[in-house]
Structure 1
Amino acid sequence: MAAPPSTSTPTAAGATASSSASTSASAANDHDGTPRSAAAKALPVRDKDSFNKLQVERYVTRDWHYSVAMKDAQERFEKDMQQTRDKIDDYNLIKTQRLYFPPSKLYGEGYRGYGNGYTDIDPRMRAPFPAQVIYPSQKPRPGKRQSHPLRWKKRELKKQAEQHEELVPIRIDVDWEKIKLRDTFTWNLHDRVIPGELFAQHLVEDLGIPLDAQHKPVLDQVTLQMRDQLNDFYPLVFSEEDALDPELPYSAYKNDEMRILIKLNVTIGGVTLVDQFEWDINNPLNSPEEFAASMTRDMSLSGEFTTAIAHCIREQCQVFTRSLYSVGHPFDGRPVEDPDLIAAFLPSPLPSVFRPQQQAKEYAPYLYELSDADLERNEVIFSREQRRQKRSINRRGGPQLPDLKERQRTIRTLLVSSVLPGAAPNMEESTLYKRVAGAPPTTRKRPGARDGEVSDSDDSEDSGPDSPGVSQLGGTARTRGLRGAASAAQQRITNLGRSETPEASIVHHHETRRNLGRSLRDTRDETEEPTQLIVTLKVGKDKLRRLLQNPRARFTPSGSQTPSTPAHTRIPSAAAAAATSMPPPSTPASNGQALPAQLGTPLPQGQIGRQPAPPPVAGQPPPPAPPPPEWLKNCLQQLKQTYTFDNFEGMMKYSAINPDTEMPISVPAGSQPPEGARWMFLPRIRCLDCPGKLYTPGPEMTAGNFEVHLRNKQHRQKVDAREGRDTAAGTT
């Protein structure tokens, strides 16, 4: 293979030789330095003009690069916008041609159902088997629950495990319309995993209350009560100190034992647990949860009782702890100085490890099961006893301490479940909703008794033979107390051989018949709509004599009967001696004449002399009012003779009446009245000196209520300002 021809030229060779010679010559001149210094002086020196020129060239070059980058970015932006427009056009084309190309023609018919849905069904359609993809986060929760599920991370659990556990007793008691929710539990004060609002949502849903706008007040009250009790918690301080003298026992120089009496009264369903025992609140080794688990295991009770017992112990310990904080106790083993707290704590140290034989049965647990009616009656009596205890507290001076004698009764609303032990089988037995009148009875009652009513037979059974007779209560206070003590001692001697465990029929035998008779009003549901309205009026002797002498005055111009003559109306002297539980028949007056029989339904206060009116017509003014009744004109004429300077007149007000309660309904302007409302003209009194107000006549067919307004100080000032002088002197 031949070598490539040389491309070098003589000129290039000469240049190379001359460059080599110059290099060697410069190297040779480096030794003496003379020729090199001359060459250095010949180099150009940079001045200010050359530097500015260099900077301008750099600026221009940078602007050129930036303009090129901006042009490239603009081209990319236009390209992306064109691609987006093309996609929009494609999707619009698919949308217009969707009816002609269903999914079955594009992807096939699939498996035709079998849990996958049909291919041609639109996911947005309400079809039996919609063809749509449901992700796990979109699946409805079992039981149609709306609250968010509980989720936590391992990192959060690790941090929570390092926190100190401080259990706070929480008591929930919500009474809203027909719902009565009651529950007790303990909550960790240092819980950082589960939010309180989320727990409240789960609690409300577990009990069967939906999370909608209608039941939002229930959720708000549960959350508020939890927050308030957590903020009002006082932890107990435990101080650990070394012994001052190892030779002496700890009790020789310090006594930090704080024993209290724990009283249990837990009702879950129809089973009630009653017990009392001693507990040391200053011992950190005492665990209410372990004690409750051991107690329920020994008595074979459900888990509901375990948590309820632990809550009761912590709640009663918290009452004493809050009292210690109130008096400024240092929690260092010093004795308590407050006399009320000293009386509330049990004596320490113990004089003997054995309890007296007379008190042995008082510290033993017992269970009893009652019916629904007995539970409601006992609950009313228990709440009345709590109110009496609160009224009896009278602490003079010093900090206000909680009631150390009060022990709240624990009643829980049951869950509805067929799996959990101790749960309610249906919503009626869960006691979540109040029992209203007319509901089917769950227990056997006497004929004619209403729900929640305490009958006379129940009173007699609760009173029993232990109640002393009325004839035994005579004499002075001293002899009456002696006879009462003797009767009680005789009864104790008689029952020495019997068990002291209370039975269902005598649990509250200390309540008298009068107290149980009044429980009828307490146990009646607030939401119950009465089927009738009974009005009891007291008639003066002079007015009664006038009514008996003038029979025509008993009727109003509209033909309705006045409330002064119904069969249940009583004279004040006779009403004092009559029973208060039910209205007796008409009582004869002192002059020997009897009241006439009832001829119609009595009217409520302020509706005597009312007249029916046509319903309003949209877009038209209300119908003209008739003149007021004659008795109202006569009463106002008599008042005019007494109050000569006052200006007032009678009128008939156009009002809507509730057909069930016979009471007026307020209908705001521009709103529709409720369905079924009746319209009436009601007699009213208008004071011209006090505009904007209407006054109801009464009592009965008089204007005594309006006369109270005429004596009012502000009204008299307005009359004096109008007349320009003191009008009280002219009032006869």
Structure 2
Amino acid sequence: MPVRTKESFDRLMVDRYTTRDSIAAAALCQQLHQTRISSQQMREKMQEYGLLRNEYKSWFPPSRLYGDGYNGFANGHTENQMQPPASRIVYPSQKPRPGRRATPALKYARKDMLKQAEQHEELVPLRLEVEWDKVKLRDTFTWNLHERILHVELFAAQLVEDMGLKPPAAQPVYEQTVHQMREQLNDFYPFAFSEEDALDPELPYSAYKNDEMRVLIKLNITIGQHTLVDQFEWEINNPSNSPEEFAASMARDLSLSGEFTTAIAHCIREQSQLFTKSLYSIGHPFDGRPIEDSDLVSAFLQTPLPSVFRPQQQAKEYAPYMYELSDADLERNEMVFSREQRRQKRSINRRGGPQLPDLRERQRTIRTLIVSSVLPGAAPDVDESRLYKKAAGASRKRTARDGEISESDESEDSSPDSPAPSQLASGTARTRGMRGAASAAQQRMANLGRSETPETSAALHHHETRTSRRFREETEEPVHLWVTLKVNRDKLRRLMKGDYRDLRTPSQPQTPSSTPHARAPSTSSVSKSKPPPSTPAASTPQTGGNFPPGQIGRLPAPPPVPGQSPPPAPPPPEWLISALKQLEKQYPNGDKFEAIMKYSYLDPVTELPIQGQPLPEGVKYAWLPRIRCLDCTTKLYTPGPDMTAQKFEAHLKFSGHREKVKQRLASQNGGDAGASGS
């Protein structure tokens, strides 16, 4: 067996090295050869394409290179407007937005978002109360004072579009929204939180500083047909208090919707802002010193707390209430609250010093719902959203006295209040305090010698009765009178076919009913359901049977032109002028009234005046005769019955009208006496 030596091993390794180098060199030469061949083929191909594109372009169109494609399957050429099936490429930026939205979308860069994230968040409570024509938009929300990405104008435009407002109502609502937002942002006063060490370590902290500023937050939030009423204490001088977290916790505990969550947070910030403005107005340094203004001190709650337990008699005052009201009750409550707010504004009488905001006023939160079939808590249609004002008919009391049909937008006549808020705020503040003190004293006298800790059964009964109360259980059932109409078979068949000739009975003057709450359907209501068949004779004067009641003397009107005022009104009918002259002779006590023609929109089916928006398709335009009282200018009165003015005569006897006439005559007599004396 041969033995391997070092020389033989070195010789073997050298052979291996040379063999590997030869193989690598051969592979490199082959790779270079292939690269040279592929480069030459690519150059020839490029040269061939260049010849086809330049020199042989007329003999080699693209169809000879790529074929006709799908041209034989009814597909045209892209971006070719000459051929009938014109098609074009639609890029993502050119696609229509969902919902056919026209306002610009919110766009921002990442660097702008990074700068916005570094800004301090200071939420400002904003309240929108926009009224224009028939539109009444109300909303509450918070806005970041240091917002740099979303501008106020873009937000207002998107809000108007979300509410479904169309021109010409969109532009005025947009302008008022921007103006109110700018005004409230400029009038915002942020609260100054200061953290300082004790000035004198030997004195107690309460000797020179009082940081606790507890206020009473009152909630009165109406969203749809649900109203939330509650009150609680809030510390405004604590930066750790978050209204948003508290609102989310409260809504979760009470199983409220998200609309209530944001509304509660807005109410807390809005009412805290009232006290912050008051502190700014008196020059408070926000360093923990006690407040010096006596009126402002009385507005804050007592501090420090004398006891951590609240008296048992105040338990109901600090418990949340949820009411479900009807549309009529909502309108009445809104009227009552608006009058109460105006009364509070008139009763402000401060003797001297800086003018403080009215800390007693707590604005009621009412939100206009958005129309959507997908969003939870949204309104199914425009009527339920309460975006447009509803024409409030005359109340039962005024109907019995006036005997006329009102077409005004909203009346402030006295109406019965809803029992829901009356249970919470009945009487004045002084009487409520006296009743509370009396009930507390009576409770203390009854429980002498007993423990004041409430029993478990009593607490359970209290919560059960509070949560189970509903407004519908305390509402009295209205009185109804049902009238049965017996119609023979032939007349009923004609009525079903739309023939209303049998209902044309001579109209009689309607007398006010002795029972104001009783209502009975009559044949006149049936006759208003559909218009009677019109006659082609347009030259003859129209009689009362061809038009609904109150439209005798109606004249057709041209449709309105956008951006222009309505056309001039025609003269009123002669019978109305003569009827008013007869009334002037009967009432020679200084009453002033005139006959006018009102430009109105009529329903295409019922031919009755339309008060709200939007207008239905096929709406009719007409001039309707009306009576205007120069002393009561807020309403227009409908003449009738027939070609008389007996309905308006009831208004002349109304005590409110007589009082306004006396005031006008007294002012005229006083002015004449002053002129003669001078």
Q: TM-score, normalised by structure 2?
A: 0.53
Kindly indicate whether the alpha-carbon contact (under 8 Å) linking 1:266 and 1:411 is maintained by their aligned counterparts in 2: yes
Counterpart pick for 2:109 among 133, 148, 153:
153
- The answer on 1:661 being equivalent to 2:626 is yes
| 1:192 matches 2:154 | no
Mapping of 1:59-458 within 5 angstroms? 110=71, 112=73, 118-119=76-77, 123=81, 130-210=86-166, 212-244=167-199, 250-436=205-391
Q: Return the offset for 1:461.
A: 8.3
| SS class of match (1:168) | strand
Number of matched residues?
Answer: 423
Contact in 1 for aligned 2:130/2:173 (Cα 8 Å) = yes
Q: Within 2, Cα distance between the matches of 1:124 and 1:240?
A: 76
Q: Name the SS of the counterpart of 1:362 in structure 2.
A: coil
- The answer to whether the 8 A contact 2:576-2:595 is kept is no
The question of 1:504 aligning with 2:442 is answered no
- Give CA deviations for 1:197-239 in whole Å, capped at 9, x if unaligned: 11111111112223x4542000011111110000000011111
What is the CA–CA distance in structure 1 between the aligned matches of 2:422 and 2:282, rounded to whole Å?
A: 47
Q: Distance in 2 between matches of 1:488 and 1:254?
A: 32
CA separation in 2, counterparts of 1:559 and 1:156? 69
Measure, in 1, the Cα distance between the counterparts of 2:269 and 2:81: 55
2: CA distance between counterparts of 1:201 and 1:278? 37
Compared with structure 1, are the counterparts of its residues 531 and 305 closer, same or farther at alpha carbon in structure 2 (3 Å cutoff)?
Answer: farther
- For 2:305 and 2:317, the matched residues in 1 are separated by 18
CA distance in 1, matches of 2:594, 2:350: 46
The Cα of 1:398 is off from its aligned counterpart by 1.1
User: Unmatched 5+ residue regions in structure 1?
Assistant: 1-105, 439-447, 467-480, 510-516, 518-529, 534-555, 576-602, 609-656, 665-698, 717-727
- Structure-2 change in CA distance of 1:661 and 1:349 (3 Å): same
SS of residue in 2 equivalent to 1:285: coil
1:257–1:280 CA contact under 8 A, matched in 2: yes
| Alpha-carbon distance in 2 for matches of 1:559, 1:228 | 49
Whether the 8 Å CA contact 1:168–1:189 is kept in 2: the answer is: yes
The CA RMSD measured in Å over matched residues stands at 5.1
Which letter maps to 1:349? Answer: P
Answer whether contact 1:462 1:506 (CA < 8 A) is retained.
no
Q: 1:606 to 1:294 in 2, by over 3 A?
A: closer
- Whichever residue aligns with residue 626 of structure 2, its letter is T
User: Deviations for 1:292-339, whole angstroms, at most 9, x for unmatched residues?
Assistant: 011111111111111111100000010111111111111111111111
Partner Cα distance (2:264, 2:150) in 1: 24
- Note if contact 2:140-2:367 (Cα within 8 Å) is conserved in structure 1: yes
8 A contact 2:593–2:628 mirrored in 1? no
> d(CA) in 2 for partners of 1:328 and 1:315?
20
The code of the aligned residue for 1:290 comes to E
Q: Is the 8 A contact 1:260 1:345 kept in 2?
A: yes
SS in 2 for 1:660: strand
Q: Secondary structure at the match of 2:106?
A: coil
Q: 1:503 to 1:489 in 2, by over 3 A?
A: farther
Secondary structure at the aligned position of 2:360 is classed as coil
Tell me which moved more, 238-247 or 284-293: 238-247
**C-alpha deviation, 1:151, in angstroms:** 1.1
User: What is the one-letter code of the residue matched to 2:328?
Assistant: A
Q: Which residue of 1 aligns with 2:578?
A: 560
Cα offset, 1:243, TM superposition? 2.7
In the TM superposition, residue 251 of structure 1 has moved relative to its aligned partner by 3.2
Q: Deviations over 1:678-711 (max 9, x none)?
A: xxxxxxxxxxxxxxxxxxxxx99xxx99x99x97
Offset, 1:419 = 2.2
The one-letter amino acid of 1:135's match is Y
What is the DSSP-based 3-state SS (H/G/I as helix, E as strand, rest coil) of the residue aligned with 2:228?
Answer: strand
After superposition, the Cα gap between the structure-2 partners of 1:180 and 1:110, relative to the gap in structure 1 and judged at 3 Å, is: farther
Q: Report which structure shows greater RCO (CA 8 Å, sep ≥6).
A: 2
Structure 2 unaligned blocks of 5 or more: 1-66, 394-403, 424-429, 444-457, 477-515, 517-547, 552-573, 597-621, 630-659
Whether contact under 8 Å (1:531, 1:660) holds in the other structure is no
8 Å CA contact retained: 1:265, 1:409: yes
Instruction: Tell me, in whole angstroms, the C-alpha distance in 1 between the residues paired with 2:421 and 2:126.
Output: 39
Query: TM-score, normalised on structure 1?
Result: 0.50
> Which one has the largest radius of gyration?
1
Please list the CA deviations of residues 643-665 of structure 1 after superposition, one character each: whole Å capped at 9, or x if unmatched: xxxxxxxxxxxxxx95433679x
**Is the alpha carbon distance of 1:486 and 1:167 closer, same or farther for their aligned partners in structure 2, counting shifts above 3 Å?**
closer
Residues 462, 505 of structure 1: 8 Å contact kept:
no
